[in-house]
């Protein structure tokens, strides 16, 4: 297991958003994190990434517990989050946004250009727009840039929070095609997704979060075949992109 999370707890003041979550994923595999609105999916990813510091539990990457480290130090260990809502700098160009993703690596300009070439190899739409301001891109293009920015950090585990939110089916397909290419290259993925069917088709393993705890965990294919999963834990989720 490249990523092992045990008894993760995340609190916001008096609110306990994540209460004892366990999950694990092997190198080069994909984990889908599912659940209703407000279940604690984003908080789980934030706790793993260190954007929110966990109040209890462990987050091990290759056996090293990083749960007390800062978000930057976790990026140095290869844990990278593509946050909900993309969070690009709209006034900066696509190229500058990608450079931000690599800032911890302190690359020289030539090496930075090479990384941009490498990361956008599957992303012609991004490559064509490197000098365009990020704020002028379509929502789908912005999401692709957000993922590319995450890749610029050199992740071993890339976590994406609702990458297809609000996007047209054709863009959702482009994102999942990219994920498949990345998996084939050996990257490990953790994807929070409202489109349950799309996520389970990509993933090897899945967990369903309910009220801050893991309600169900197993092989993605088994969860996809279980009507109870849908009815009990995922009512209100979307089956397919609108
Ligand atoms: N910054 C915060 N301060 C206080 N409470 C928060 C904060 N962020 C999240 N919460 C609460 O923590 C719980 C889990 O929220 P979280 O965003 O993790 O859910 P989610 O599963 O990602 O939901 P969604 O599908 O709507 O994105 C919710 O009750 C939410 O109101
Ligand atoms: Mg969320």
Ligand 1 near 41 CB (within 6 A): yes
**Atom nearest to 13 CA in ligand 1:** 4
Q: With beta carbons less than 8 A apart as the criterion, state whether 205 and 217 touch.
A: yes
Ligand 1 near 47 CB (within 6 A): no
| pLDDT recorded at residue 242 | 43
Spacing, Cα 107 to ligand 1 middle (Å):
35
Ligand 1 near 38 CB (within 6 A): yes
Question: Which residue has its alpha carbon closest to ligand 1 atom 3?
Answer: 12
Spacing, Cα 10 to ligand 2 middle (Å):
14
Ligand 1 near 35 CB (within 6 A): yes
**Atom nearest to 39 CA in ligand 1:** 21
Spacing, Cα 38 to ligand 1 middle (Å):
5
Q: Where are the domains of the chain?
A: 3-233
| pLDDT recorded at residue 232 | 67
The set of residues, in sequence order, having a beta carbon less than 8 Å from that of 152 and lying 6+ positions away, is 98, 99, 100, 101, 102, 115, 116, 119
Spacing, Cα 155 to ligand 2 middle (Å):
21
Query: How far is Cα 233 from Cα 179, in angstroms, rounded to an integer?
Result: 25
pLDDT of the chain, 242 residues: tens digit per residue: 999 999 999 999 999 999 999 999 999 999 999 999 999 999 999 999 999 999 999 999 999 999 999 999 999 999 999 998 889 999 999 999 999 999 999 999 999 999 999 999 989 999 999 999 999 999 999 999 999 999 999 999 999 999 999 899 999 999 999 999 999 999 999 999 988 889 999 999 999 999 999 999 999 999 888 877 776 666 665 555 54
Ligand 1 near 17 CB (within 6 A): yes
Contacts 24+ apart (CB under 8 A), 106-115: 115/152
Ligand 1 near 52 CB (within 6 A): no
**Atom nearest to 162 CA in ligand 1:** 27
Rounded to a whole number, what is the largest CA-CA distance in the chain?
A: 53
How far, in Å, are 21, 36, 157, 179, 237 from residue 187 at the CA level? 23, 27, 6, 9, 27
Query: How far is Cα 57 from Cα 95, in angstroms, rounded to an integer?
Result: 37
The residue assigned the tokens 């309600």 is 215
Q: Can you read off the two tokens belonging to residue 35?
A: 């659940």
Task: Let me know if domain 3-233 sits in CATH 3.30.565.10.
Answer: no
The set of residues, in sequence order, having a beta carbon less than 8 Å from that of 2 and lying 6+ positions away, is 25, 26, 27, 61, 62, 156, 157, 188
């Amino acid at each position: 297991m490249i990523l092992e999370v045990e008894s993760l707890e995340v609190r916001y003041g008096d609110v306990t958003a994540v209460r004892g979550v366990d999950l694990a994923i092997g190198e080069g595999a994909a984990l889908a994190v599912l659940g209703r609105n407000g279940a604690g999916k984003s908080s789980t990813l934030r706790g793993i990434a260190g954007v929110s510091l966990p109040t209890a539990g462990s987050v091990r990457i290759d056996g090293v517990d990083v749960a007390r480290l800062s978000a930057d130090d976790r990026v140095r260990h290869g844990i990278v989050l593509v946050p909900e809502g993309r969070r690009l700098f709209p006034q900066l160009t696509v190229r500058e946004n990608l450079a931000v993703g690599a800032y911890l690596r302190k690359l020289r300009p030539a090496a930075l250009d090479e990384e941009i070439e490498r990361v956008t190899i599957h992303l012609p739409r991004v490559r064509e727009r490197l000098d365009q301001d990020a704020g002028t891109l379509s929502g789908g293009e912005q999401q692709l840039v957000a993922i590319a920015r995450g890749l610029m950090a050199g992740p071993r585990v890339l976590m994406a929070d609702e990458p297809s939110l609000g996007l047209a089916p054709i863009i959702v397909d482009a994102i999942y095609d990219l994920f498949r290419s990345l998996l084939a290259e050996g990257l490990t993925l953790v994807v929070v997704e409202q489109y349950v069917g799309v996520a389970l088709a990509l993933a090897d393993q899945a967990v369903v979060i309910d009220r801050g705890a893991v309600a169900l965990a197993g092989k993605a294919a088994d969860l996809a075949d279980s009507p109870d999963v849908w009815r009990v834990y995922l009512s209100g989720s979307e089956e397919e992109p609108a």
